[in-house]
A = this chain, B = another copy of it.
Amino acid sequence: MTDQASAAVLIIGDEILSGRTKDANLSCIALKLAGIGIEVIEVRIVSDDEAAIVDAVNALRRTYTYVFTTGGIGPTHDDITADSIAKAFGVPIDVRADALAILEAHYATGELNEARKRMARIPDGAELIDNPVSKAPGFRLENVHVLAGIPLLVEVMMDGLLEKLSGGKLLHTHTISAYIAESHVATGLGQIQRDFPEVRIGSYPFLRGGKSGASLVMRSTNDAALASVCELVREVIRATGEEIQADVAS
């Protein structure tokens, strides 16, 4: 279905699962990966629980080209991601000299307490991921990339990582929106989808100010097919008598 590299994101944290905090990292990671031709195919959100993290990491790392985890690498008792990743891979973990050196250079004398030293616990065989903001590093072990949970840190860690990832063909996206009933375009869209299997056509209904409509999102690595499909989709919308409200490459 795709000639892109694949990725999964594992979001770790009770606070997201509780519904009290909304995740802000998936969008950042997915958009940055899309920019180099890597598509996020699956996301899991699990609690701060070792067995849950181990099971999810092992399932995802065997299925996708890349895995990215967020959260759980700070200094407190509930930060168990690094140890859980070590367990998933069956490798030892301890405070590592290179990670400790980064923290020693960052903190003033006496400030690198035992809790902060926990942030230098890195599984054997992992490569550090640079954190230019708060210094405590993430790490990569095989195809699993372990990132912080704070959105600003995820963003800068991802920026540093991108050049090290092998992307695929870029997936181009075009969105056409109108105040159409989905059911009035469904037959036409279904026919276009059957005729152009290399373009994925998604229909996303919305309610805005009491008016219902749909955003039709076309995605493909094949620009010519994408352009053909967009023109056919415009014709299907025009046939309903509704005006196109948005028509943008994105």
- List residues of chain A with CB under 8 Å of any chain B CB: 1, 13-23, 26-31, 34, 39-49, 52, 74-79, 113-116, 118, 134, 149-150, 152, 173, 182-187, 189-190, 193, 200-207, 212, 217, 219, 250
Contact = CB atoms under 8 A, between A and B. Distances in A.
Task: Determine the main DSSP class of A at the interface with B.
Answer: mixed
A115 B183 contact: yes
Oligomer: number of copies: 2
A187 to B, nearest CB: 6
A66 B47 CA distance: 17
B42 A46 contact: yes
A77 B186 contact: yes
A45 B43 contact: yes
Contacts of A13: 202, 204
Given A115-B182, A152-B207, A18 B30 contact: yes
Contacts of A42: 17, 44-47, 52
B18 A34 contact: yes
B76 A190 contact: yes
Contact of A77 (B114, B150, B201, B204): B201
Nearest to A107: B183
Contacts of A183: 75, 113, 115-116
A47 B52 contact: no
A185 B114 CA distance: 11
8 contacts: A1-B49, A15-B217, A17-B43, A18-B34, A41-B52, A44-B44, A77-B186, A78-B201
